[in-house]
Amino acid sequence: MSSNTPIKLIVGLGNPGPQYADTRHNAGVWYLEALARKHNVFLQSDKRFFGDMARIKFAGEDVWLLFPTTFMNRSGQAVGTLAKFFKIKPEEILVAHDELDLLPGQIKMKKGGGHAGHNGLKDIHAHMGSNEFWRARIGIGHPRSLNLQQGVADFVLHRPSSEQQQTIDKSIDVLLKHTELILKGQIGQATTHIHTECA
């Protein structure tokens, strides 16, 4: 999983609006907002790119932060438009998203692969014409793995329990801690740290 390609765009997936802000499906946005706070920038609406955006400087280069506000299943419209405008390649993109197949507290880094039914990833793949972007898969658990009777669609659109929320927040802190390595393109090294600390 080595890569020496610096990341130029970090996307946090979720749904817009206060009614969705604290729901599991917005785990990617929680990370993006934490990253923006760390760099003292604010995500602001930019209708050209169908989302809320901010720019940070890293090693003298622009890095864009993007929260597509088109609703999850149309996330690719924002990512594709911004990537095309700034000539950003798929391998220069990190997409942070909620992951049903990982328990709360786990985060796995991955490049390429399928979307496992995640509509945000599916739409980004469609708009980019490539699945060779990086993913930070933020574990939220699955109703079955957490012994809940909810359906998946209902589960992702509800808040985690306070205990699960704390566990997810801690894992996001680990991802934040190693984001500098990711931005440098040292993703293999970052992955080792993240997978160890979020085991």
Which residues are known catalytic residues?
Answer: 25
Q: Are 164 and 124 in contact (CB under 8 A)?
A: no
